[in-house]
Amino acid sequence: MTTKTAKKTTKTTFKLNKGDVLAKTGLKVKPGEGAVEFARQFFPPFVDYHEGLEIATDLIDGFFVGVEDPRVRRCNHCGYYYRDKTKNNSSLVCSEDCKDGKDTVLQWYRREIRKADKPRRLSWMDMHYATHIPGTSEKLEYPFWKSDWHMFEYDRKHKSYSFGDNFEQYVAQQKLKEARGGKRKKPELIDYDGYHKPQSIAVKFITKGVDRSNGKLTTIKRPSTEIAADLLERYGEKHLQRERVRAEMAAFGRYKF
């Protein structure tokens, strides 16, 4: 009589419902094409930075008109709202890129679950390099190899030397590099405009409306309050506020003109 032992099977299937968002990617990746297309209808033309920031915050939090629509839901991958355009209202992601990203994350989840059930194979260092006191979780102050042969064998398998088996020459070369300050790069002269020397550039200034009768150029200094009042009268408060935000963001490289 033979007895059969049943193999332990681990459930690695994941079922995501409509509106569920992966914790690993939710609002941590760029919104997909469907989410961007859905959000575009809420932004009026020529919207300024502060108003656009408020609209984007409401779209992320779900405070907008039409959020109760059964076809409007969050994408499983990027986590942003989008509108389902399928005939039977069965889509879970807003674009093909989000679909590929969701499948990649779920595949990673499956590998982690299978890996947790299987014992990890001991490596060469696990077997021959002591890092803890035997039978305890206390780490050794000075870890050591079981023997010199095991140390050199690990070094031989995992490192490649440009000098072959001459270990002394390799160590001497490394010390020489450290003494010189590491891997120094030779100075390279990059020719951008075809000239190796600075060239003088002739600049022609506009002379229209400038009084040059006395042979001198008169410079007029104005206070900042007068300049601000002149700009406010010429462009308006809303336009000035938008330009100040553009200048501030451009200083940090976060704004595209």
Per-residue pLDDT tens listing for the chain (257 residues): 444 555 556 667 778 899 999 999 999 999 999 999 999 999 998 888 889 999 999 999 999 999 999 999 999 999 999 999 999 999 999 999 999 999 999 999 998 888 887 887 888 888 999 998 888 889 898 999 999 899 888 887 776 655 566 777 778 877 887 777 766 666 666 555 555 565 565 655 555 555 556 656 566 677 888 888 888 888 888 888 888 887 777 776 655 54
Whole-angstrom CA distances from 133 to 138, 143, 147 are 6, 10, 17
**What is the span of the domain harbouring residue 148?**
126-179
Find, among 96, 68, 82, the residue nearest to 35 by Cα: 82
Residues in contact with 144: Cβ distance below 8 Å, sequence separation at least 6, in sequence order: 129, 130
- Report the alpha-carbon distance of residue 59 to residue 51 in Å, rounded: 13
The predicted structure's pLDDT at residue 253: 62
Task: Please tell me the pTM assigned to this model.
Answer: 0.48
Asked if 55 contacts 38 with a C-beta cutoff of 8 angstroms, the reply is no
Asked if the structure places residue 75 within a domain, the reply is yes
Same domain, 111 and 138: no
Gap between the Cα atoms of 202 and 171, Å rounded: 57
Both tokens of residue 190?
Answer: 């990059």
Tokens standing for 186? 């030779």
Which H helix or E strand runs over 116?
A: helix 96-117
Residue 166 included in any domain: yes
Q: What is the structure's pLDDT at 85? A: 93
pLDDT at 257: 45
Which of 81, 96, 117 represents a domain boundary (last residue)?
117
* pLDDT at residue 178, as a whole number: 78
Predicted local distance difference test score (pLDDT) of residue 1: 45
> Tokens 């023997």 — which residue?
147
186 secondary structure, DSSP code: P
Q: How many residues are given for the chain?
A: 257
What one-letter code names the amino acid at 207? T
The per-residue pLDDT for 90 is: 92
41 & 106 share domain:
yes
User: 163, 179, 195 — which closes off a domain?
Assistant: 179
Domain count, the chain: 2
Q: How many CB atoms lie within 10 A of CB 31?
A: 23
Note whether residue 250 is domain-resident.
Answer: no
